[in-house]
């Protein structure tokens, strides 16, 4: 990744004065004519970030935060400690105007605190990942917190379903016997944050593929599931869609199976070569995956025929909105095997038109030292615009992207896990709005912290 002390010092200055970095591309579609969106379209965004006296989270004036949950605290359920490595998250309507959060824990075998391996709710006792569910009341105070699935591996992101469950994704393709695991990993699992009985005996959704999953997004009209793959080595990951046998989904309907396909952009083997925002492709092809379970060969290495398949480095955020699905390539580095370089792309696929458009580019035509590189988790704001979690080097921010293509910092993580001489700051993840659009929830990965942010959206 780009970065180092130069970028760190610049980020500190930029955050202090509230400077916004420009991205390339048109983002008008992100506002969908919502008048409330004008609030973040004004020059300067929300204003400068104000240093937090508590040293946790810097926000603009008028905004405030509450710490909902921190790793190492006692789970309200008495099941153990709050696990480490808070990652993807979604917010659902709760009881009596409350909110239910479901939160991933991207725990590898070396995680400081794994998800407690509850009997009947654990897929593989040797794996330390999983999900927790948090129930908040109408004032956003924590009422309950419990494990909803355990024994899964490296639960990175995922996505909500239209029937209000959560699909949690394993960013691993380790088989039984590797890293001490007793079962194969690399799957998607469905969890119900409201009904623990449904989460007994976790079953992987095998037809959705076995690979290094990152995030999913569902077309509410057709039930088609779109999936990103964050493969760490060349050839990099693919972008997938899953056509379920039962497209009108409900709890466990995805267990009925379906067909997994991979996206082919004709003539484009690597999305990193596309550098101009607004570049538009028609006639996108979806090629059946030869072996979705990757029994012998990882999917991205399988034979997709004479036309090959389209790869991209760091396929991460994935979000349904504006009659299509947005997905992110966090960065591309030629030294790591990409065909070209960039500091972040946001793509939009329109299934009705079968078109793919590069909406936003975070470099290299802009200064890569400016804030706003390496976008990861994303969410469309109910007030208009795009929210981006930064996962780069140096300082870490949550950004809003306005209709002018300006990147305005909303939050900066102040929890230094390094030293005064070599500071390190955990990435943000799991950005999501409450159903009433009044509260933004977001995680800091390390140390695992869940925040609720309110203010003049």
The rounded average pLDDT for each run of 10 residues, N- to C-terminus, in the chain (457 residues) is: 28 30 51 38 69 97 98 97 98 94 97 97 98 96 98 97 98 96 98 97 98 98 97 94 96 97 98 94 98 97 97 96 93 95 93 95 53 76 84 82 75 94 93 96 97 95
Cβ atoms of residues 168 and 191 within 8 Å = yes
pLDDT at res. 20: 39
What pLDDT is attached to residue 353? Answer: 97
> 168 near 88, Cβ under 8 Å?
yes
Distance of CA 88 to the CA centre of its chain: 5
Q: What's 100's domain CATH number?
A: 2.120.10.30
pLDDT for res 409? 87
Q: For position 382, what pLDDT does the model report? A: 87
Q: Give the C-alpha separation, 257 to 246, whole Å.
A: 8
pLDDT of residue 301: 97
Question: CA-CA distances (angstroms) from residue 325 to 194, 227, 234, 455?
Answer: 26, 10, 25, 28
Dihedral, CA of residue 271, residue 274, residue 278 and residue 282, to nearest 10: -60
Pick from 288, 108, 294: nearest CA to 186? 294
- Residue 126 CA to residue 207 CA, distance in Å, equals 23
Q: Residues 6 or more apart from 5 whose CB is under 8 A from it?
A: none
Of 421, 390, 420, 422, the C-alpha closest to 407 is: 390
Residue located via tokens 């479901």? 102
Domain range for 89 is 5-454
Phi, psi of 206 (to 5 degrees): -65, -35
- Residue 372 CA to residue 448 CA, distance in Å, equals 22
The three-state secondary structure class of 14 is helix
Among residues 431, 447, 371, which one has the least CA distance to residue 70? 447
Query: Phi and psi (nearest 5°) for 46?
Result: -90, 0
Phi, psi for residue 276 in degrees, rounded to 5: -100, 115
| 97 CB-side CA count, 13 A | 7
Number of domains composing the chain: 1
């Amino acid at each position: 990744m780009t970065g180092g002390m130069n970028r760190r010092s610049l980020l500190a200055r930029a955050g202090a004065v509230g400077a916004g970095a420009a991205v390339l591309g048109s983002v008008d579609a992100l506002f969908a004519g919502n008048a409330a969106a004008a609030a973040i379209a004004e020059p300067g965004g929300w204003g400068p970030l104000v240093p937090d006296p508590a040293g946790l989270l810097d926000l603009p004036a008028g905004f405030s935060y509450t710490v909902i949950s921190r790793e190492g605290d006692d789970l309200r359920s008495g099941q153990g400690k709050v696990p480490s490595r808070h990652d993807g998250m979604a917010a659902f309507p709760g009881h009596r105007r409350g909110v239910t959060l479901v939160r991933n824990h991207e725990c590898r075998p070396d995680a400081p605190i794994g998800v407690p391996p509850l009997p009947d709710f654990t897929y593989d006792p040797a794996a330390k990942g999983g999900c927790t569910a948090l129930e908040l009341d109408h004032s956003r105070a924590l009422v309950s917190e419990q494990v909803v699935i355990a024994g899964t591996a490296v639960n990175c992101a995922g996505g909500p379903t239209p029937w209000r469950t959560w699909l949690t994704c394993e960013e691993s393709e380790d088989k039984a016997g590797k890293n001490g695991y007793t079962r194969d990993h690399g799957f998607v699992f469905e969890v119900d944050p409201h009904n623990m009985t449904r989460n007994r005996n976790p079953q992987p959704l095998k037809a959705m593929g076995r690979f290094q999953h990152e995030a999913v997004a569902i077309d509410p009209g057709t039930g088609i599931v779109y999936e990103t793959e964050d493969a760490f080595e060349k050839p990099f990951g693919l972008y997938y869609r899953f056509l379920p046998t039962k497209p009108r989904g409900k709890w466990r309907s995805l267990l009925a199976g379906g067909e997994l396909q991979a996206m082919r952009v004709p003539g484009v083997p690597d999305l990193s070569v596309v550098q101009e925002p607004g570049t538009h492709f028609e006639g996108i092809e979806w090629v059946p995956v030869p072996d979705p379970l990757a029994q012998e060969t990882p999917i991205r290495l399988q034979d997709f025929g004479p036309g090959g398949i389209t790869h991209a480095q760091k396929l991460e955020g994935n979000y349904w909105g504006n009659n299509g699905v947005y997905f992110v390539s966090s960065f591309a580095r030629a030294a790591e095997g990409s065909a070209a370089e960039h500091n972040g792309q946001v793509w939009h696929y329109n299934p009705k038109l079968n078109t793919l458009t590069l909406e936003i580019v975070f470099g290299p035509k802009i200064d890569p030292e400016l804030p706003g590189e390496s976008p990861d988790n994303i969410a469309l704001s109910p007030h208009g615009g795009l929210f981006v979690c930064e996962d780069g080097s140096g300082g870490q921010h949550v950004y809003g992207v306005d209709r002018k293509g300006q990147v305005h910092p909303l939050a900066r993580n102040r929890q230094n896990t390094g030293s005064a001489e070599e500071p390190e700051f955990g990435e943000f993840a799991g950005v999501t709005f409450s159903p009433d659009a009044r509260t933004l929830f977001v995680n800091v990965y390390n140390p695992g912290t869940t925040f609720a942010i309110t203010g003049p959206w």
